[in-house]
Amino acid sequence: MNVKMVDLRAQFKEVEEEVKKGWNQTFENMNLMLGPNVGAFEDEFSSFIGTKYGYGVNSGTDALILSLSALGIEPADGVLTVSFTFFATPESIILAGGKPIFVDIDEDTLTIDVNHLEKILKSARRKDGETYINGIRVKGIIPVHLFGIPAPMEKIRQIATEFNLFIIEDAAQAHGALYKGKRVGSFGNTSAFSFYMSKNLSALGDAGMILTNDKEIAEKIFRLRIHGQSERYTHRHIGYNSRLDELQAVVLRAKLKKLDEWNRRRREIATLYLQGLKDLPIKLPTAPKESVPVWHMFSVKTRKRDDLFKYLRENGIEAAIHYPVPCHKQKALEEFNSLSLPVTERVSGEILSLPIHQHLTNEEVSYIIDKIKDFFG
Ligand SMILES: *Cc1c(COP(=O)(O)O)cnc(C)c1O
């Protein structure tokens, strides 16, 4: 058997007809610059998540950068986030001119450890209503809904209010996940989504979106994505060139209609894994009780990670390691290399992602479970 991490071909087959029809219309009207499908997808996706405004941009990384700019980050301002995430999260903070301040993660959910977050902020210096950590003025928090599991937004909002911080949700891996009955991406001052190929909702190339309920922020984002323009050739800020592509919007509109169904199938597979693997000496992923995850990844933890990874590969199963080196240990972030985040570091050495996607069959899932059982003998 050969089991893949994602089946892009099967995904496309499901929407092929609708996509080709939409593309043919675009090839006729050539309305390529923020055209009708971009506008329609912005409306459809923001109402799907539950926010007033949505702006399509080039990528999830740009969604983070433009959010930070719109929220007024100034050079050397600090933004609290996790190191156990895709590199784009801290990278966007630096590209926007700020400085990441890393917080450890919760061992079970793998999202930001709110106790550690609170501890850092409570021991920080406060002056004139602002908070300083090692001389850095802290402006915001970027929680990451990693692997499709919601971060504890209620507590994060309470902390953000107490310390006067903005929240940007990194929802790049959590399209459709619920926290206390509301979709993630609707809790922060803004949220950033990615539609990169491997995400739960994906384009056929790079694409992203920023969501917000704040009219003023929305207007600023609207300008930022076109070189800070308020009107044509009138530039109010230094902005970016970051727009969602009309052809990608056609794909995303068609796939959005399937997303709930696709996420439901992911949850079904997660249940099979949780049942099938429960008696083995591996740690299974957990989501907070008040949440409905969308299982972007299904990650198990074991000290025998490297051997299990090799064994699965030898048996035709495409497992993957997300992420083998935490952000604060990367060469690119040398100034953070000596920082100690014990949970993040331990998890990086034990984590392994098993295939989970909507086109996986029950037979394939059983095969994977059996192989893992064989491994532990
Ligand atoms: C994918 C991803 C991003 C970046 O999105 P791109 O569209 O690839 O730029 C940011 N954060 C997280 C957690 C991601 O998984």
Per-residue pLDDT reduced to its tens digit, 221-270: 999 999 999 999 999 999 999 999 999 999 999 999 999 999 999 999 99
pLDDT in tens, 281-328: 999 999 999 999 999 999 999 999 999 999 999 999 999 999 999 999
Residue 95 CA to residue 64 CA, distance in Å, equals: 10
Ligand 1 near 81 CB (within 6 A): no
Ligand 1 near 105 CB (within 6 A): no
Q: Got the DSSP string for 344-367? A: HHHHHHHEEEEP--TT--HHHHHH
Ligand 1 center from residue 194 Cα (angstroms): 6
Contacts 24+ apart (CB under 8 A), 133-136: 133/78, 133/101, 136/76, 136/77, 136/78, 136/99, 136/101
Element (H, E) at 375: helix 362-376
* CA angle centred on 93, ends 210 and 152, rounded to 5°: 65
pLDDT of amino acid 292: 98
Ligand 1 near 61 CB (within 6 A): yes
Ligand 1 near 86 CB (within 6 A): yes
**Which atom number of ligand 1 is nearest to the Cα of residue 196?**
7
Indicate which residue's Cα is closest to atom 10 of ligand 1: 88
Ligand 1 near 109 CB (within 6 A): no
- In this structure, are residues 106 and 84 in contact, taking their beta carbons and an 8 Å threshold? no
Element (H, E) at 166: strand 166-170
Ligand 1 near 208 CB (within 6 A): yes
- Residue 301: beta bridge partners? 283, 351
Q: Which backbone phi and psi does 159 adopt, to 5 degrees? A: -65, -45
Multiple choice CATH, 8-103+110-256, 3.30.420.40, 3.40.50.300, 3.20.20.70, 3.40.640.10: 3.40.640.10
CATH code given to domain 259-376 = 3.90.1150.10
Q: What is the mean pLDDT of the chain?
A: 97
> Residue 132: is the preceding peptide bond cis (ω within 30°)?
no
Indicate which residue's Cα is closest to atom 5 of ligand 1: 60
Residue 197 CA to residue 76 CA, distance in Å, equals: 33
pTM of the model: 0.98
Ligand 1 near 169 CB (within 6 A): no
Residue range 67-81: average pLDDT? 97
Q: What residues does CATH 3.90.1150.10 cover in the chain?
A: 259-376
Output the CA torsion sign for 191, 196, 197, 202: positive
- Residue 352: beta bridge partners? 300
Mutate to test the pocket of ligand 1, among 168, 194, 244, 248 (most ligand atoms within 8 A of CB): 194
SS3 3: strand
Residue 303, C-beta contacts closer than 8 angstroms, at least 6 positions apart: 350
pLDDT of amino acid 176: 98
**Which atom number of ligand 1 is nearest to the Cα of residue 206?**
7
Ligand 1 near 58 CB (within 6 A): no
pLDDT of amino acid 285: 97
Q: Got the DSSP string for 328-350? A: GGSGGGGGGTT---HHHHHHHHH
Ligand 1 near 82 CB (within 6 A): no
Q: What residues does CATH 3.40.640.10 cover in the chain?
A: 8-103+110-256
Q: What is the 3-state secondary structure (H, E, C) of 58-126?
A: CCHHHHHHHHHHHCCCCCCCEEEEECCCCCHHHHHHHHCCCEEEEECECCCCCCECHHHHHHHHHCCEE
pLDDT of amino acid 375: 98
Ligand 1 near 209 CB (within 6 A): no
Residue 93 CA to residue 95 CA, distance in Å, equals: 6
pLDDT of amino acid 133: 96
Nearest of 279, 245, 254, 301 to residue 105 by alpha carbon:
301
Ligand 1 center from residue 125 Cα (angstroms): 32
Q: Confidence class of residue 145 from pLDDT cuts 50, 70 and 90?
A: very high
Residue 229 CA to residue 262 CA, distance in Å, equals: 38
Residue 47 CA to residue 193 CA, distance in Å, equals: 14
* Both structure tokens of 211: 């969501």
Ligand 1 center from residue 89 Cα (angstroms): 7
SS3 371: helix
178: buried, middle or exposed (CB in 10 Å: 19+, 13-18, 0-12)? middle
Q: Confidence class of residue 110 from pLDDT cuts 50, 70 and 90?
A: very high
Q: Confidence class of residue 19 from pLDDT cuts 50, 70 and 90?
A: very high
Ligand 1 near 65 CB (within 6 A): no
pLDDT of amino acid 119: 97
Ligand 1 center from residue 82 Cα (angstroms): 14
Q: Confidence class of residue 105 from pLDDT cuts 50, 70 and 90?
A: very high
pLDDT in tens, 172-197: 999 999 999 999 999 999 999 999 99
